[in-house]
Amino acid sequence: MLTETPAPVFPRRLPRLLLPALFGACVNLPAIAADMPADVDGQRIANADAEPGNWMSHGRDYGEQRYSPLNKITDDNVDDLGLAWSYKLDIDRGVEATPIVVDGVMYTTGPFSIVYALDARTGKEIWKYDPKSDRSRAGEACCDAINRGVAVWKGKVYVGVLDGRLEAIDAKTGERVWSVDTRYDKARSYSITGAPRVVNGKVVIGNGGAEFGVRGYVTAYDAETGEQAWRFFTVPGDPDKPAEGKGMEIAKKTWHGRAFVEQGGGGTAWDSFAYDPELNLLYIGVGNGSLWDPIWRSEGKGDNLFLSSIVAVNADTGEYVWHYQTTPGDAWDYTATQHMILADLEIEGKPRKVLMQAPKNGFFYVIDRATGELLSAENIVPINWAKGVDLKTGRPIVDDEAAAYWKGEKKAKLVQPGFWGAHDWHPMSYNPNTGLVYIPAHIMSAWYEHVPDAPARNKFKSMYQLGLKTGMMPEDPEGLAKYADTWSGKLIAWDPVKQEQAWEVPYVTIFNGGTLTTAGNLVFEGSADGRVIAYAADTGKKLWEQPAASGVMAAPITYSVDGEQYVTFMAGWGGAFSTFAGALSLRAGVQPYAQVLTYKIGGTAELQEPAPRPDAPQPPPLTADAATVEAGAKLYDGYCSQCHGIHAVSGGVLPDLRMLSPQTHEQFLGILHGARIPDGMPSFAEAFTMDQMKQIHQYLIKRAHDRLKNGPTDLPVLTQKTASN
């Protein structure tokens, strides 16, 4: 890691609105440092195009287009990009952050919400802030200890901490200014993995935790003091109590029974926001239900607002204005937390101010952002849960077979897309020159099966807590290989006016990186198999590629300092896919190695790479009978698989439990009793009996012997040479 700490210099800046007059149409402006670091306000963000060398908000501007007017790097010279600098992050786990760059300083995050301030020219560390997230609760957060970045405003940097805190940091010193606990109910497993936004002097943040049984909401805090300004609940609370505002008055009529009160209801807003300054509307992407199965959540009845919805609220007060629900009565984990983009499009010969989203359910939506009126919706990948969207009602035409797992025959059904959706959190981007949206898409399916007995709530993650069984991957190598063939990814260039695909690039697995597009006719994206790539924005032709030493999930950014344009990728494999779907994740042939990679024309820095994976130790002999191993397998897949991988095949982020050392085997029962709480491994003493712990141990010993027999992945490892593109 770079440790030199230069003293940053922040001379006074010229008024930003004078820049276009002084520099004309030039977009490759040098960074002009502010009166103080991170001296950003709403006017600067709203006028981001006037200073394209900065990246001042999560999506660059309030409309979240992730389009940069910078054009020094183009489709003609992008092949000359080389690594300018790299910075090694502290912890090798999932990296999903979008960096913020203001006046020559980069602010970004790594695992466990650690914040870094770096010189954007060189990558040298200015300061580092560790919020000391409560790692004993890491197992209660979905998914992995990731963080999607910070917000900046008037000399402060804001970060949401995994354990549920929102904190303000002095942008010059890296010292904490204030901290608030955002958790509405501290007895439940709330977390934060998303990036805050700052609107009208208020820091807006949502929470995660729907799979653990929480009630969703979004909160706005005063950016200067941390005092709560407003809170908007996304699902209703106790129906016997007064509703919290107009939104909850509407929502409570669409829920039935009282089970959701105990379960929390879900609807967490764990990622996406957008903002229209002219309308003063904040747009909230709302997540899935808790429990997943509508029978156990709401007696199998009702739309369950505002699950899987886009909700517009007044940015000053948090009052409800309108909503559009993408998946009424969500039964498949089809969140609408995915990236939203605001743009002005000509539709049927008329200019329209629109909001665009490609949520998990597979449709691409174009919505009037002033009224919530649905303008169009078409599927971006093959789906079988719905036959289309009725434009008169705005409702999907649900396929009876896909709903049959909880309706009618109640048998397991293979549904496409599965729970990671056609598009997950990975940001898409919109290029106004090509008129195309660039979407990191998934091709996947999953089994869904109703659980006949009402699930009981406990503090530990269990697939049965969702109210159903899902993600039932086969354990044998042949069956797993066939299953893997149904999971892939691709980069889609989508025309939102024509509602059709313009071009695509296939990938080897589903969790490839978010996208960036530029005025240089470029689209940048990282891949799961450890590459950073540039394509022509108009045709999809691959123009540039370099290795990244790890899988890349985060969306890149571009900025300029002193007339030099840079492109930054946050690299580091991890997150939901690599922890849960371990065998499929390992096909990408990468391992976690968290670092910031920044490129420029003519860069000559050397890429840092991780050490090779260690050889597997010899496991102890298996002493249990088949029934004991099977019992351990059920317990493992119900409680442990979310972090350590289905069938104990880790994607490399957390320890692969098939590779325990002889010493760890000896300590196994003590670890389950809490010996490694400081390392983020919770105690399961209240969840398992001693006999159940021994059953899990025997199952892991069996899987260790399977690994030696079948190989580390049970599948062919895909390398850059065998990758599709």
From the list 326, 335, 384, 389, the residue with the least C-alpha distance to 355 is 326
Distance CA 174, CA 724 (A): 43
From CA 225, how far away is CA 202, in angstroms rounded?
Answer: 10
The structure tokens listed for 128 are 């580092």
Nearby residues of 66 by Cβ (< 8 Å), 6 or more positions away? 59, 60, 341, 427, 428, 429, 430, 514, 515, 516, 517, 555
Number of Cβ within a 10 Å radius of residue 465: 22
| Three-class secondary structure of residue 200 per DSSP | coil
Task: Tell me the three state secondary structure of residue 349.
Answer: coil
d(CA 378, CA 335): 17
Comparing CA positions, the residue from 580, 667, 668 lying closest to residue 632 is 668
Q: Residue 103 has which token pair? A: 């006046």
Locus of tokens 């820049």 = 19
Judge whether 333 counts as a catalytic residue: yes
C-alpha torsion sign, points 177, 180, 182, 183: positive
Classified as helix, coil or strand, 16 is helix
65/49 Cα distance (integer angstroms): 12
For Cα atoms 175, 176, 182, give the angle at the middle one, nearest 5 degrees: 160
Cα 374 from Cα 523, distance rounded (Å):
28
φ, ψ for residue 438, nearest 5 deg: -110, 110
Q: For 95-162, give the secondary structure using H, E and C.
A: CCCCCEEECCEEEEECHHHCEEEEECCCCCEEEEECCCCCHHHHHHCCCCCCCCCCEEECCEEEEECC
Sequence-distant (≥ 6) Cβ neighbours of residue 260 within 8 angstroms: 235, 290, 297, 298, 304
Helix, strand or coil for residue 521? coil
Closest C-alpha among 387, 459, 376 to residue 416 = 387
- How far apart CA 519 and CA 70 sit, in angstroms, is 6
Contact 383, 417 (CB under 8 A): yes
3-state secondary structure (DSSP) of residue 550: coil
Catalytic residue among 75, 276, 333, 529: 333
Bridge partner list, 203: 198, 221
* Radius of gyration, CA atoms only, the chain: 24
Residue 326 CB coordination number (10 Å): 30
CA–CA distances in Å: residue 314 to residues 43, 247, 611: 18, 12, 51
Non-local CB neighbours of 190 within 8 Å, separated by 6+ positions: 164, 182, 183, 184, 207, 208, 209, 214
What distance in Å separates the CA atoms of residue 688 and residue 701, rounded to the nearest whole number?
Answer: 18
Cβ-based burial of 689 (10 A; exposed 0-12, middle 13-18, buried ≥19): exposed
Q: Using an 8 Å Cβ cutoff, are 216 and 192 in contact?
A: no
Closest CA to 293 of 362, 187, 211, 396: 211
Distance CA 576, CA 295 (A): 26
- Catalytic positions are 333
